[in-house]
């Protein structure tokens, strides 16, 4: 009986206070001259951006800000502060600086991708969603007739969220590959290719290559870590060469010198070039005469040139010829570069 009375009493009090509110909470605060107020102090306009790095490692603020400042080289500079662990605020003082950083990314520090977004007016930096990174994706093997902007936009939405096409080549009949900028979700694996169904109901594979792609796992395809630190890769029980992903997803991985000098190279153990012999035979005596008049044009092809000079006895350098006085002195056969380097073969004149 007492229990039911107490329950009714609590319910009654709750019902009576349900529509009541403190006056302090209901009052609205309106800043003075809010339309003219500018963040940053001293009337300086600012454009803030918040970002985090796709990694579990500790990011050292001082090193990171020095690297980004030297790479960006912004016209009005940038302020970098740490809001919390792996959450940073970048304050720009010119709208073009912010635009440059957003459009020329993705950026990285120690090969860790920076996920960044501008902070709009009235938003809290900690509430900005940092779940995607804008990146240029190359579309390879697009068949003729399926390269329109509409189809590229649909492919971009298949990868993530389409941002824009590469406007430099709009209207081209066909290219080796097409570029689209896509906001890729960082919580999903990368896509290697996709099936494109043509109008005649046949299939065609479209391959993807990602520009400026930083750390990602060759086993699970997720960005932010490598297969050496991936639990899925360790439990897979296969070698790294059998992983479904690989470095071919990175655009521009072909490194090393181009074969522009291949025709002048002689393989080890192979015969010398015969092009010069054939060219001399076909060119006639005229070419031979020109070559004889310019012996130093291709000095690097003939090796070291022997130097022999005549000097009077008593010049101080060289080796004297035995027998008689007043004879000529022959210099040692050395390279021209030796004298320029200050070699000890040339001694000072005796006083």
Tokens standing for 196? 């494109």
Model confidence band, residue 205 (pLDDT cutoffs 50, 70, 90): very high
Mind listing the domains of the chain with CATH numbers? 47-127 (3.30.70.330), 132-249 (no CATH)
pLDDT at residue 191 tops 50: yes
pLDDT of amino acid 263: 72
CA–CA distance from 350 to each of 316, 320, 322, 323, 347 (Å)? Answer: 6, 15, 20, 22, 9
Q: Quick check: 266 and 272 in contact, CB under 8 A?
A: yes
| DSSP calls for 213-225 | --SB-TTT--BTS
> Averaged over 132-155, what is the pLDDT?
93
Counting Cβ atoms within 10 Å, is residue 125 exposed (0-12), middle (13-18) or buried (19+)?
Answer: middle
Comparing 4 with 91, the larger pLDDT belongs to 91
pLDDT at residue 105 tops 80: yes
User: Percent of the chain scored above 90 by pLDDT?
Assistant: 50
> Averaged over 82-93, what is the pLDDT?
95
Lowest mean pLDDT among 4-18, 43-57, 209-223: 4-18
pLDDT of amino acid 252: 76
Lowest mean pLDDT among 133-142, 182-191, 212-221, 328-337: 328-337
pLDDT of amino acid 351: 41
Lowest mean pLDDT among 15-29, 34-48, 225-239, 325-339: 325-339
pLDDT of amino acid 70: 94
pLDDT of amino acid 182: 97
SS3 294: coil
User: Percent of the chain scored above 70 by pLDDT?
Assistant: 64
Dihedral sign, CA of 231, 237, 240, 244?
A: negative
CA–CA distance from 158 to each of 154, 194, 223, 284 (Å)? Answer: 6, 9, 18, 65
Tokens 């509110």, residue located:
21
pLDDT of amino acid 117: 96
Comparing 1 with 231, the larger pLDDT belongs to 231
Lowest mean pLDDT among 218-232, 268-282, 331-345: 331-345
Model confidence band, residue 90 (pLDDT cutoffs 50, 70, 90): very high
Query: What's the whole-number average pLDDT of the chain?
Result: 77
296-330, pLDDT tens digit by residue?
433 334 333 333 344 444 444 444 444 444 455 44
Record the pTM. Answer: 0.64
pLDDT of amino acid 344: 45
């Amino acid at each position: 009986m007492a229990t039911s009375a107490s329950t009714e009493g609590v319910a009654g009090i709750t019902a009576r206070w349900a529509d009541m509110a403190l006056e302090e909470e209901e009052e609205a605060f309106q800043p003075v001259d809010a339309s003219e107020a500018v963040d940053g102090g001293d009337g300086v306009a600012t454009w803030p951006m918040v970002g985090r790095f796709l990694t579990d490692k500790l990011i050292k603020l001082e090193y990171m800000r020095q690297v980004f400042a030297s790479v960006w080289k912004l016209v009005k500079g940038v302020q970098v502060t740490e809001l919390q662990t792996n959450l940073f605020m970048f304050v720009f003082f010119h709208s073009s600086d912010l635009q440059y950083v957003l459009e020329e990314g993705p950026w990285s520090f120690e090969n860790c991708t920076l996920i960044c977004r501008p902070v709009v007016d009235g938003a809290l930096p900690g509430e900005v969603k940092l779940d995607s990174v804008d990146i240029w994706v190359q579309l390879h093997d697009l068949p003729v007739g399926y390269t329109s902007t509409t189809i590229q936009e649909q492919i971009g939405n298949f990868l993530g969220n389409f941002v824009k096409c590469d406007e430099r080549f709009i209207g081209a009949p066909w290219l080796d590959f097409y570029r689209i900028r896509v906001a890729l979700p960082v919580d999903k694996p990368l896509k290697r290719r996709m099936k494109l169904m043509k109008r005649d109901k046949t299939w065609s594979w479209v391959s993807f290559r990602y520009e400026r792609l930083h750390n990602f796992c060759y086993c699970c395809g997720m960005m932010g870590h490598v297969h050496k630190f991936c639990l899925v890769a360790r439990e897979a029980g296969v070698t790294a060469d059998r992983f479904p992903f690989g470095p071919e997803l990175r655009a521009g991985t072909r490194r090393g010198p181009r074969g522009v000098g291949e025709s002048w190279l002689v393989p080890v153990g192979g015969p010398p070039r015969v092009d010069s012999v054939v060219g001399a035979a076909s060119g006639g005596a005229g070419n031979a005469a020109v070559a004889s008049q310019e012996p130093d044009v291709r000095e690097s092809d003939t090796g070291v040139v022997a130097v022999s000079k005549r000097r009077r006895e008593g010049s101080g350098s060289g080796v004297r010829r035995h027998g008689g006085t007043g004879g000529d002195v022959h210099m040692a056969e050395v390279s021209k570069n030796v004298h320029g380097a200050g070699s000890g073969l040339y001694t000072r004149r005796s006083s």
